[in-house]
């Protein structure tokens, strides 16, 4: 009986503190996001400590597919992303991406539930659906 109580207590604590990422659906483009851009990731700055650590990516924008706020083509923006998988984290390397995301106040954010893909990994037929400016 004592073992059952201990096991139940441990399981309750584990379930109570478990965090996980859940994406409702996988987007086929960034049209449902606040912004969707194509840009080259130039660098990143680490911020925070695990498990809530994030990266601030500096991105040179060469194409704007959607913007709920002004984003200039051929400008630099900063996009934040958590890196832990429990927070739907995403890691970006120094290469060309399509990055979609949302605004948290004035901060641009993305995560693994958004349409953020390396440009070279997007099939040509899918590239035709990226422009969301109607």
Report in angstroms the alpha-carbon separations of 3 from 6, 56, 123: 5, 47, 55
Any binding-site annotation on 132? no
**C-beta separation of 99 from 121 below 8 A:** no
Rg (CA), the chain: 18
Burial of residue 100, with CB atoms counted within 10 A of its CB: 0-12 exposed, 13-18 middle, 19 or more buried: buried
- Please give the annotated binding residues, written as ranges: 21
- Please give the annotated binding residues for Zn(2+), written as ranges: 21
């Amino acid at each position: 009986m004592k073992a059952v109580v201990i096991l139940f207590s441990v399981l309750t604590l584990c379930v109570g503190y478990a965090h996980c990422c859940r994406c409702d659906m996988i987007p086929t483009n960034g049209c449902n996001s606040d912004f969707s851009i194509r840009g080259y990731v130039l660098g990143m700055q680490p911020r925070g400590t695990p498990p809530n650590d994030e990266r601030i990516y500096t991105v040179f924008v060469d194409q704007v597919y959607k913007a709920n706020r002004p984003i200039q083509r051929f400008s630099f923006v900063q996009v934040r992303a958590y890196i832990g998988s429990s927070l739907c984290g995403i890691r970006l390397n120094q290469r060309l991406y399509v990055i979609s995301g949302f605004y948290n106040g004035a901060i641009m954010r993305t995560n693994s539930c958004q349409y953020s893909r390396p440009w070279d990994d997007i099939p040509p037929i899918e590239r035709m659906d990226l422009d969301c400016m109607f």
